[in-house]
Amino acid sequence: MLIITGLGRSGTSFIAEIFHNLSYEMGEYNPQIDAGFENPEITAINKLILSGDWWNTEAEQAKMREVAEKYYVAKDPRFMITLGTWLKSGVKIDGAIHCKRNLTHIVDSSTRTHAGLMALWYGNEFLCQEMMAATIEYLFVTLCEQNYIPIYPLWYSESLKHWSYLTRYLELFKVTEEQFREVWINTIRRKESEC
């Protein structure tokens, strides 16, 4: 399974929407928070892991493997924290699209869409936010490297500027450059029409 992840509001939904528009099963879009495209089975497992209600029994590990085998690609920012549990369960992660965005922009976006969620999650000081974000990203990248999982870093700001920025990873989307260009343009148009 290919995963799309990154800190919340880092562009994961934009990349997942491109996969969705290419007919991959990604989950639904939530216009209220301008995010989504997360598979309910995947997010349910990730929420259980984070809540402490996941005990990593053989039955739960088998369920994780079963769910992962259904999907070519899955998006969830929670993978930044839960990836280790997926790996311990024997799930094969073929690669990680790691969406990146300037932390100031993440905080601004989160403040607009989640009314203070970032303050609750990261604390009220920007320094605390930077340290938490850097720690999460460092641990995620280290885990990928230790498990030989290819990482495909994508900067959200560059992804929005021109479709060609994303073509360096065209093989992940499994389409021609022309097909990708058309889908990218349609995805950008939807975003622009909402502004």
Domain ranges of the chain: 2-190
3-class DSSP assignment, residue 184: helix
Distance (Å, whole) CA 137 – CA 169: 21
Q: Which tens digits make up the pLDDT trace of 154-170?
A: 999 999 999 999 999 99
Q: Which tens digits make up the pLDDT trace of 67-96?
A: 999 999 999 999 999 999 999 999 999 999
Q: Which tens digits make up the pLDDT trace of 10-32?
A: 999 999 999 999 999 999 988 77
Which positions ≥6 away from 63 have C-beta within 8 Å? 45
Residue 151 confidence (pLDDT) above 80: yes
CATH of 2-190, one of 3.40.50, 3.40.960, 2.10.260, 1.10.3470: 3.40.50
Q: Which tens digits make up the pLDDT trace of 90-131?
A: 999 999 999 998 877 776 666 666 555 544 444 455 666 777
Distance (Å, whole) CA 170 – CA 30: 26
Instruction: Quickly state the pLDDT bin for 189 (edges 50, 70, 90).
Output: confident
Residue 194 confidence (pLDDT) above 80: no
- How far is residue 172 from each of residues 53, 63, 95, measured CA to CA in Å? 33, 25, 9
Residue 125 has a pLDDT of 58
Residue 114 has a pLDDT of 56
